[in-house]
Amino acid sequence: MISKEEVLKIAKLARLELTEIEVEKMQKDLSSVLDYFDILKNAPKLKKQKEVKDKHQNNSLRMDEVITMPASLANNLIGLAPDKKEDYIKVKSIL
């Protein structure tokens, strides 16, 4: 079984606050899922990656150019921020 400390360490990496009850639950749930993954130990090994040429996939790079969008879109996006000052999203000080 995965330890409480391990769950807390992963949760911190994932920037996720968990309650005491959640930590216990995740210990149990993660352990059963990770145990299930053991099935892959018996899986065959990949010998060679086959190159599959896909006629529908083109080069997905595009020109590095400015695409103009309506100002209303920017307003809509900024408008969603929980804390803002004029047209800027406000973040708590980090220093």
Number of other CB atoms surrounding residue 26 within 10 Å:
19
- What letter does residue 46 receive in the DSSP assignment? P
Smallest gap from residue 70 Cβ to other proteins (A): 10
For the record, the structure tokens of 69 come out as 């969008």
Query: In the window 6-45, what residues touch other proteins (CB under 8 A)?
Result: 7, 10-11, 13-19, 22, 25-26, 29-30, 32-34, 36-37, 39-40, 43-45
Tokens 């920017």 belong to residue? 74
- The H or E element containing residue 27 is helix 20-37
Size of the site for other proteins (CB under 8 A): 48
Among 5, 46, 68, 85, binds other proteins (CB under 8 A): 46
Q: Does 1 bind other proteins (CB under 8 A)?
A: no
With contact defined as beta carbons under 8 Å apart, do 13 and 38 qualify? no
Q: At what angle do helices 20-37 and 4-13 cross, to 10 degrees?
A: 90
Binding site for other proteins (CB under 8 A): 7, 10-11, 13-19, 22, 25-26, 29-30, 32-34, 36-37, 39-40, 43-46, 49-50, 52, 54, 56-58, 60, 62, 73, 76-77, 79-83, 89, 91-94
